[in-house]
Structure 1
Amino acid sequence: MILRFTLPFHTTWGQRLVVCGSEPSLGSWNLAQALNLHYSPASGIWSHEISLPDDQAGTVEYKYILLDERTGNEDWEWGANRRVEYDGRQFSRIVQEDYWRAAAQPENELHTAAFTQALMRRPARPASKAAAATKPAARLADSVVRFQLVAPRVDSDHLLCVLGSDPALGAWDARKAVLLSDTSYPTWTADVALEHPERTTQYKYGIWDPREKKILHLEAGDDRVISPSADRKTLRVRADEGFRYPTGHWRGAGVALPVFALRSRRGLGVGEFPDLKLLIDWAASTGLKMVQILPINDTTATHTWVDSYPYAAISVFALHPQYLNLDEIAEFREAADRQELEKLRDEFNELDFVDYEPVMKAKWQFIKTLYQQEKAAFLADPEFQAFREEQKSWLVPYAAFSALRDRFHTADFSQWPAEFQTPQNLDELTAETQPDFDEFGLHFFTQFHLDKQLREAVEYARQSGVVMKGDLPIGIYRHSADAWTQPELYHMDQQAGAPPDDFSTTGQNWRFPTYNWERMAEDGYLWWKQRMSHLARYFDALRIDHILGFFRIWEMPGHSVEGLLGHFSPALPLHRHEIEQRLGWFDHGRLCEPYIRWHILTDIFKEQAEAVKNEFLDEASFGVFHLKETVRTQRQIEALFEQKLAADPHNSEHYVWLRTSLYKLVNEVLFVPAEQADFYHPRITLPKTYSFRELDEPSRHRLHDLYNDFFYRRHEEFWRDQGMVKLPAVRYATNMLICGEDLGMVPESVPGVMKALGILGLNIQRMPSDPSVEFGHPNAAPYLSVVSPGSHDMSTVRGWWEEDPIRTQRFFENTLGHWGEAAPYYCEPWVAREITAQHLHSPAMWAVFPLQDLLAMDADLRRANPLDEQINVPSNPTHFWKYRLHLNLEDLVQEVGFNHEVQQLVIKSHRLQVY
C-alpha cells in the first residue's frame, strides 16, 4: 500500500521540507536520511510517498522538518509525533493531508495538562458506544475521509461535530451533523464515506451539545474544502488546522495561597494536603479555575522555625511532613494519644499564625507513634512496595540523609563522621534487616502517605475542573540530600541570589549554591528532567521561580552576606586593559578596594565614627582607611557580631545597625574580581556609591557609559543563547503549563525566549516590565501571561495602599481612572473590587489573585490588620514564614453572598466560559 504525505507550505529560497519518522524510508528518526518532499508550484503543496506492506496493519510516526541550507537551521514542527495507523487489507492508499504545526502559537498552550487533564478533562464514557456513534463503518471499496482535528478546548460536557455539503455530512442540516470521537482526545476523529467524493465538498466543525442535541457554535471563517477524488480504497486523512473559535482566546482566573496557610478544623495548626480539597471546592464555587501554591518540599534542616522558609528544600523531591494529615493514615489505638491529638488540635487552631516549632514537634511525635502502630501492615502493603521501587532513586537517599541529620544533630553533612560524609551503600544502610531500620523507615512511611494524600487532592482538583499549579524553586539548599548525593552538579563555594530590586536595595542572598550548568549539560540535563517529571506527578501547571536564573544567575562569593558584591553568571567580564581603555586609567586600589575616607565614616556612623575607626579600621594615610584583616569580608563581620549579640543581647538594636553599616564599607568598590585573573565585573548600582560620586567628572561619565553597556547591552545575545540551551530541556520534559516568574532586572532577550518556548510571563501591577511607567496596567499584558495584583513577596493590596499615600493617589487617578478625586486613606472594599475587576478584564490567559486580595473586597471577611497578611519580606533573610488564613475554609465555602460576588466578577469578565 501507498502512504502519501502532503503539506501546503510557503518556503523561501534555500529552504526545503523533509519528513522524518519511524519507518526506514523516513530515516528511522535519523534526520540525515529523512524523506525529501517535492514542491508543486501549481498547488503550493509539498508531497512524497512511501510503500508499506499490503497484507499488514501497523503504525507510522513522523514529523515535518524545515531545513534552511543558507543558515543550517533545522526547524522541527511543534508538537508530539504524528501517528497514522494503516491496514493494507482495508486500504490500498492513505493520503495524509497535513498542515504545518507552528511553534510559539498561543493555542499551543491549550495542549498542556492544565487543559487536557483538568479544565477540559473528558468524562469517562463507554468506549464501544462512543466509537459506534461517531465512526461510520466504511465499505472495503469506499473512498473514506478521516476528519481529524486536534482541539483541546472543548467543554467536558460537549463534543465536536462536522457539518458539510455532502449528504454524509448532513447536507448542512445541523441536526444531521457527524459527531467526532474523543477516544484519542485532544485529537477528535470521524471516518466518513462521502456519498459524492467526485464533487467538491465544503464543511465546518462545530461544538455539539449532546443533551440539547444541537450545535452550540459553528467555527468562524470560510468553509473548509475537500477537493474531488475518484480514488477507490483510499483513506484521506484530513489532519486539519485547529478549530476556529468565534469567541477569541480562552481565559481563566485563579487563587493563590500557600498550603501552610490553609486553615481547617481538622488541621493541626498548619495547612495539610487534604485541606486543598476545601480550597478547591471554594474555587470551583466562585468560578476560579486554578489553585496556585508555594513550594511544598521538605525543608527540615534545623528543626527550628528557620525551616519555615519553603524555598530551602533539603530535597527537591520529598514532601514536607508538616502537610501530613494524621487522621487519614489511621486512628490511634491508644485513647491517650487520641485525647492528646484533640487537645493540641484545639490549642494550635486557636492561634492566628503557624507556630512552626511546636506544631512540627507534635507532628513528629504523632507520626512516630503511628509508624510503630502501623509498621507491619505498612511494610507489607503492595502499594508502598510499588511506591518505594518507583521512587527509590530519590527516596532512599532522602531517607538516609534525614535519618543521619537527626542522628548527628545537623544537616551539614561535612560535620558528620567521615564514613557518612559521602553517600555509599545506601540500599544496604536503609535495608529492613538492619537493626536501626526504624530511623529510615519512619521517612519512607511519611513520604508514602504524603504522596498519597497530595495525589488524592490533585485528582479531586482535576475532577472539579480546577488546575493545581505548583512552584519550582530556582535553587537548592546547601545542606540537602541533593548536594550530599550529587555535589558535582553545584558550585558549592558560591551563593545564588538576586541583584538589587524593589524587594531589597542591597540585593538578595539566598545562600544556595549555584548550578554547574556545564556538568548538567553532559547528561542532557537529566537532573532537571527528573525534577520536572516528579513535579508533573502532582501538578498540571507550574511556576518557575526566578526563571531569569536559566539565563544568568546572580552569584556571590562565599564571603558575602549581602548581594551587592555579586555578579551575573555566566557573564563576559572586562579585562583590566579594556577597563583602562574605556576609563583612561586603571588603579586596582582605587577601583577594587573599599573606598573609605573620614568624611564617609562621619556620614555613615555619625558620632560613632571615632569608635568605629579605632575598633575596625587601619589608617593607611591621612584620612584614608582600610578595614582590619579580621573584618575584611562581610562573613567575618557577621561572625564577629554574632558573638557580640550572644554576649550582650540587650544591645542588639545597636549591634544590628553597626553591623549593617560596616557591610556598607565593604561594598564601597567599583569593580569586583572575576574568576579569571585580571578580569572584573562592574559592581551593581555603582553610581550610588561614595566611591563613584568622588571620581572626577570625566571618569564618572566614562564609567557610567561602561556600566550601562555592561549591564544592558554587552550580554543580550550571550544570555539569549544561554536560555535557549537550558530552558527547552526543562520546558519539554513534561506537558505541564509553564509560567515563569520574570520580575526584576530582566534582560531584553528573556521575553522573546519565553514566547518561543510557550512559557507564560508574570505581570505584577506594582512591578511593571516597562521602566517608563510607574504602574503596569493589566490591559497591556500579552495573552501568554499571568496578571496578578501582587505576590507572596509583597504586601497585600491593602497593605501597599497604606504605605505611601502620595503614590497611592497617583495610582488612584492614573491607573484606576479617578481623575481629580481624593483616594481613600484605607483600601476600602470597593477599591479592592475595582482592582480585582481590572485584572479580570485583562487579555492575559490567567488572572491569579492572592486570597487575601479577594477577601479585601468584603469588609466583614477581611482581616482587621492588613500588615498581618504579608507572607514574606524578601529584604529580611531571617523572615519567619508563619502566615495563616484567619478564616476556616469550611466557613469560607459557606459564605454564599461573598462567593456569589466573586463568581459574578469572573462571569462578567468572560473568564468562566469555555468559548
Structure 2
Amino acid sequence: MKKEKLTGTAVPLGALYTKENPVIGEFPDLKPFADFCKSAGISIIQLLPVNDTGTQSSPYSGLSAFALHPIYIRLKNIEGFDSLYSSDAKFKKAYDSLVKNHKYCLRYNYDGILNEKTALLKMLYDNTDEGKTGETGAALSKWIKANPWVKDYAVYKNLKWNYMQASWKSWLDSDRSKSKEEITALWNKKAFKKEHLFYAWTQMIADAQFKDAVEYVHGLGLKLKGDMPILMNEDSADAWAYPEVFNQDLRAGAPADGDNPNGQNWGFPTYNWKNLKDDDYRWWKDRLTNASKYYDAYRLDHILGFFRIWAIPEADLNALNGHTEPYAFIKKTDLYELGFDDDRIRWLSQPHIPTHVIEDITWNHDKAHQILAIFCNKIDGEELWRFDSSVKGNKVIEEADLSELCAPEAIPRVKKVLEDFWSDRTLLEIAKNKYVPLWTYGKSTSWGTLNDQEKSSLLACFNDLNSKNEKLWKKQADEIFAAITSAVKMIPCGEDLGVNIECVPKTMAAHNILGLRVVRWCRKWNEPGQPYVPFADYTPLSVTTTSVHDSSTIREWWETEKDSVRAFISANPEVFAPGTTEAAEFSPEIAEAVIKASATSASQWFIPPLQDFLYMDKSLWLEKASDERINIPGTVTEFNWTYRLPCSLEELCNNKTLIEKIM
C-alpha cells in the first residue's frame, strides 16, 4: 500500500446542507463540500455510514448491509420532479411543506424528514412507468441484475411496511422465516411487484446520485472513506434473509467495566463465523465489493469483534453472563483433577439463592417461597434454591408478573435481587461439561468461599485459558482479514480503541490495516502520571484524530476535562502561547494549536471531525459546546445523530479565513 501523509475530515452526510436544499444533507451535497475540502487542502472525506437504517437514526443500526439510505436522496434531481411539481398540487404542497418545516434547525428532525421524503418518493415513483404498470423497465431491470441483493431487501421492506414497521421477529410465522426460494417467489408475485419495484427504484436513484457525487469527488483528486459497522441490527433485511450468517441466540456487547458495571448489551446478533468461513466469507466479500463502488478506504467499526466478540445469551438483558466467541474452555475432567467434585462444581457454576434474600423484601416466608418457585427449585432440606433449567436468562425475571405476590413497590427490588443472583457464579457452563470463568467471578459468593489453594489452582487454569484464547482470536482474525481485505482494493482502517490484547496490533499490521489514534486518549496509561505518547511515536500505520463521533469535541474536552487538558499542554508546550494553562478560555487560537500539533503525528493520515476544524472561526461556534456533539453513547434521544453544520455549504466555501487556517 502506498504510504501517503494526508489530511482529511470526518462528517455525517446528513449534517451538510445548502441554501437551495436546506432540509438535510444529501448525496449531491458532497460536491460543494468537496470544493471546500479541495480549497482547504483536505484530501480525504470520511463519512459516517450511509446505509438504510429504517426508523433508527443511528447510522450504526443498519437495516441493510447493502442498501443506501433513501433519506439522502435529492428529490429535485429525480427525473420527472419538475413536471410533477408544476402539475400536481398535492405533490407541490407536500414538497413545499417539507422544506418549510425542516429549514435551518439546530438539529434535523430525522423521523419527520424520513416520513415526508418517503411519501414524496412514492408519489414520484407512482408517476414512473414502473409505478403505473408494475412492470420492470429496461434501466431498472439492468440495475436489479447488477444488484441482486435488492430483491431480498425489497421483499423485506414491503413486508415491514405492511407490518407497520414492526420487527420481523413479531411477524406471522409464514413471513418470519422464508427460504431463498420463497423470497424469490414472493419477489416475483405479480400482486406485490409494484411495491417491490418501488424499493428497487429508490435504491437505483440513490446509487446513481451517490456515484455521481463520488465521481465529482474523485475528479478533484480527493479520496472518500466509508464506515463499515461490524454488526447488523437484528431487525434487518440481512438477519431475516440470511439467517445462516448470524447467531440469533447470541447478542453482541461488551463485558463489565468501571463505567458499565453490568457490561453493555448492544442487542445485535453475533456472526456465525463457521458458516461464513464455509462459504468463503461470501456475505462479507459482497458487502465490501458493494461499498467499493463509492469508497477508496473504509473503517471497520469495533475491529476487536473480528478477533473475538463478547457474546451474550439472547435471553439475558445485561452482559454479565456473556463470554468471548471463540473461547477456550475448562473441561469438567480438568476440574475433577483440581479436586472439585460434582457438588463443588455445581456450587461454582450455579447460583444458590437463600430464601431470606426474598423474605427480607416481602416480610412473608410463604410469599418468598412462592416467588422463588416460579424460577427456581428448592434444595431438599435447605432454605436454598437453584434456578430451574427452563430459565435461560434474566429477561424472564424482568418480564415476570409478580403483582399477586408482591406489593408494587417491592417488585423492582425482588427482581433486582433475582437478577443479581443470576450472575452470581464463578464458572459459566457454556456447553455441556465446558466451563469458562464469569468475567466478574471475583465478586461471586462461591469464589469467596474457596481457600487460597483452590483460588490459586483456578487462577492458573484461567491464565492458561487466556493464552489459548489469544491464539484462537488471532487465528480467527487472520483468516477473516486474509479473505475480506484482499477482496477489494479499498484501504482498510480499524477502530481499535481501548484494545489491550497483544495480538491485535500485530495482526492488524500484518494485514496493512490502519489503526485509530485519538489524541486525548493516546497516553501511557500504566506509567506514573500517564504521560501523553509523543506525536513522533505514533504508529505510522494509523489514522490520527482529535475527536470521534462518540466523544466530545475538542472544545467540550477543553472545557470539561481539565486534568487531561493540563497534561496535554505540559506535553506540548511549544504549540501554545506562553502562559497557556487549562484554565485558559477556549479560543480559535487554542483550537488551531491543538489541530496543528495533532497534525504532526507520525500517522499516515490525520482525519479530525469537521467540528474541530470549524472551531478556528468563532462565528461558527454554537452557544454550547455540548450541542456540537454527534452522539452521546448510552442514550437514545432525538439529539443523537442529527447534528447539522452551523452554516450552509455556500457560506463554508466562501469562508476564506477558515480555509487559509486549515491549509
Length-normalised TM-score, structure 1:
0.63
C-alpha displacement of 1:581? 5.0
1:523-538 aligned within 5 A: 523-538=279-294
C-alpha displacement of 1:394? 0.4
SS of corresponding position for 2:268: strand
Q: 1:559 to 1:340 in 2, by over 3 A?
A: same
Is the CA contact 1:813–1:821 (under 8 Å) kept in the aligned structure 2? Answer: no
1:167-182 aligned within 5 A: none
Structure with higher strand content: 1
**Structure 2 equivalent of residue 399 of structure 1:** 154
Is the CA contact 1:816–1:834 (under 8 Å) kept in the aligned structure 2? Answer: no
**Structure 1 equivalent of residue 67 of structure 2:** 318
C-alpha displacement of 1:534? 0.5
Is the CA contact 2:15–2:643 (under 8 Å) kept in the aligned structure 1? Answer: yes
Is the CA contact 2:545–2:606 (under 8 Å) kept in the aligned structure 1? Answer: yes
C-alpha displacement of 1:736? 0.4
Find the partner of 2:505 among 739, 751, 756.
751
| 1:338 partnered with 2:95 | no
| 1:829 partnered with 2:585 | no
User: Deviation string for 1:789-828 (max 9, x for gaps)?
Assistant: 2222222223334444344433443466789974127544
Paired with 2:245 and 2:308, the residues of 1 have a C-alpha distance of 16
Q: 1:640 to 1:827 in 2, by over 3 A?
A: farther
**Structure 2 equivalent of residue 891 of structure 1:** 651
Paired with 1:320 and 1:837, the residues of 2 have a C-alpha distance of 35
For 2:327, the aligned partner's letter is A
For 2:434, the aligned partner's letter is F
Is the CA contact 1:693–1:700 (under 8 Å) kept in the aligned structure 2? Answer: no
Paired with 1:631 and 1:251, the residues of 2 have a C-alpha distance of 55
1:202-351 aligned within 5 A: 250-267=4-21, 269-300=23-54, 303=55, 307-329=56-78, 330-331=81-82, 332=85, 333-351=87-105
SS of corresponding position for 2:230: coil
Paired with 1:309 and 1:633, the residues of 2 have a C-alpha distance of 27
Paired with 2:588 and 2:338, the residues of 1 have a C-alpha distance of 56
Paired with 1:427 and 1:554, the residues of 2 have a C-alpha distance of 35
| 1:385 partnered with 2:141 | yes
Is the CA contact 1:497–1:507 (under 8 Å) kept in the aligned structure 2? Answer: yes
Q: 1:703 to 1:542 in 2, by over 3 A?
A: same
Structure with higher helix content: 2
SS of corresponding position for 1:439: helix
**Structure 2 equivalent of residue 496 of structure 1:** 252
C-alpha displacement of 1:846? 0.5
Paired with 1:559 and 1:729, the residues of 2 have a C-alpha distance of 33
Find the partner of 1:475 among 231, 248, 259.
231
For 1:344, the aligned partner's letter is L
C-alpha displacement of 1:554? 1.4
**Structure 1 equivalent of residue 540 of structure 2:** 783
Is the CA contact 2:285–2:487 (under 8 Å) kept in the aligned structure 1? Answer: yes
**Structure 1 equivalent of residue 273 of structure 2:** 517
| 1:558 partnered with 2:319 | no
| 1:486 partnered with 2:203 | no
SS of corresponding position for 2:102: helix
Paired with 1:690 and 1:788, the residues of 2 have a C-alpha distance of 44
Paired with 1:717 and 1:693, the residues of 2 have a C-alpha distance of 31
**Structure 2 equivalent of residue 900 of structure 1:** 660
User: Deviation string for 1:374-426 (max 9, x for gaps)?
Assistant: 335997764333212211x2011111111111123333156235167304354
For 1:839, the aligned partner's letter is S
SS of corresponding position for 1:255: strand
C-alpha displacement of 1:356? 1.9
Is the CA contact 1:499–1:745 (under 8 Å) kept in the aligned structure 2? Answer: no
User: Deviation string for 1:107-158 (max 9, x for gaps)?
Assistant: xx12xxxxxxxxxxxxxxxxxxxxxxxxxxxxxxxxxxxxxxxxxxxxxxxx
Is the CA contact 1:262–1:885 (under 8 Å) kept in the aligned structure 2? Answer: yes
Is the CA contact 2:550–2:631 (under 8 Å) kept in the aligned structure 1? Answer: yes
SS of corresponding position for 1:395: helix
Is the CA contact 1:872–1:879 (under 8 Å) kept in the aligned structure 2? Answer: no
Q: 1:505 to 1:838 in 2, by over 3 A?
A: farther
SS of corresponding position for 1:873: coil
User: How many residue pairs get matched?
Assistant: 637
Paired with 1:760 and 1:253, the residues of 2 have a C-alpha distance of 14
Cα RMSD for the two superposed structures: 3.8
Paired with 2:335 and 2:523, the residues of 1 have a C-alpha distance of 31
Is the CA contact 1:641–1:655 (under 8 Å) kept in the aligned structure 2? Answer: no
For 2:69, the aligned partner's letter is H
Find the partner of 1:800 among 538, 557, 567.
557
Paired with 2:385 and 2:566, the residues of 1 have a C-alpha distance of 46
Find the partner of 2:212 among 452, 456, 464.
456
Q: 1:596 to 1:532 in 2, by over 3 A?
A: same
C-alpha displacement of 1:688? 5.4
User: Deviation string for 1:526-580 (max 9, x for gaps)?
Assistant: 2221111111011111111122222222111111222222111111111234346
C-alpha displacement of 1:728? 1.0
**Structure 2 equivalent of residue 540 of structure 1:** 296
Paired with 1:814 and 1:407, the residues of 2 have a C-alpha distance of 59
1:34-183 aligned within 5 A: 109-110=1-2
Q: Which deviates more, 514-523 or 729-738? A: 514-523
Q: 1:426 to 1:622 in 2, by over 3 A?
A: closer
SS of corresponding position for 1:860: helix
Higher Cα Rg: structure 1 or 2? 1
Q: 1:354 to 1:703 in 2, by over 3 A?
A: farther
Q: Which deviates more, 489-498 or 621-630? A: 621-630
Is the CA contact 1:504–1:874 (under 8 Å) kept in the aligned structure 2? Answer: no
More relative contact order, 1 or 2 (CA 8 Å, 6+ apart): 2
Is the CA contact 1:497–1:553 (under 8 Å) kept in the aligned structure 2? Answer: yes
Is the CA contact 1:548–1:746 (under 8 Å) kept in the aligned structure 2? Answer: no
For 1:289, the aligned partner's letter is S
User: Deviation string for 1:638-697 (max 9, x for gaps)?
Assistant: 4359999xxx9xx9xx9999977865443332222212x111111224445676567555
Query: Structure 1: any 5+ residue segments left out of the alignment?
Result: 1-108, 111-248, 904-915
Is the CA contact 1:469–1:542 (under 8 Å) kept in the aligned structure 2? Answer: yes
C-alpha displacement of 1:739? 0.5
| 1:813 partnered with 2:562 | no
Matched residues, percent identical?
A: 29
Is the CA contact 2:555–2:586 (under 8 Å) kept in the aligned structure 1? Answer: yes
Paired with 1:521 and 1:439, the residues of 2 have a C-alpha distance of 35
Paired with 2:16 and 2:413, the residues of 1 have a C-alpha distance of 36
Paired with 2:558 and 2:453, the residues of 1 have a C-alpha distance of 43
Q: 1:608 to 1:267 in 2, by over 3 A?
A: farther
**Structure 1 equivalent of residue 611 of structure 2:** 852
Is the CA contact 2:130–2:194 (under 8 Å) kept in the aligned structure 1? Answer: no
**Structure 2 equivalent of residue 864 of structure 1:** 623
Length-normalised TM-score, structure 2:
0.85
Q: 1:810 to 1:377 in 2, by over 3 A?
A: same
**Structure 1 equivalent of residue 121 of structure 2:** 367
For 1:795, the aligned partner's letter is S
C-alpha displacement of 1:351? 2.4
SS of corresponding position for 1:714: helix
**Structure 2 equivalent of residue 124 of structure 1:** none
C-alpha displacement of 1:628? 9.5
Paired with 1:865 and 1:642, the residues of 2 have a C-alpha distance of 46
Paired with 2:220 and 2:22, the residues of 1 have a C-alpha distance of 26
For 1:831, the aligned partner's letter is I
**Structure 1 equivalent of residue 393 of structure 2:** 633
Q: 1:538 to 1:655 in 2, by over 3 A?
A: farther
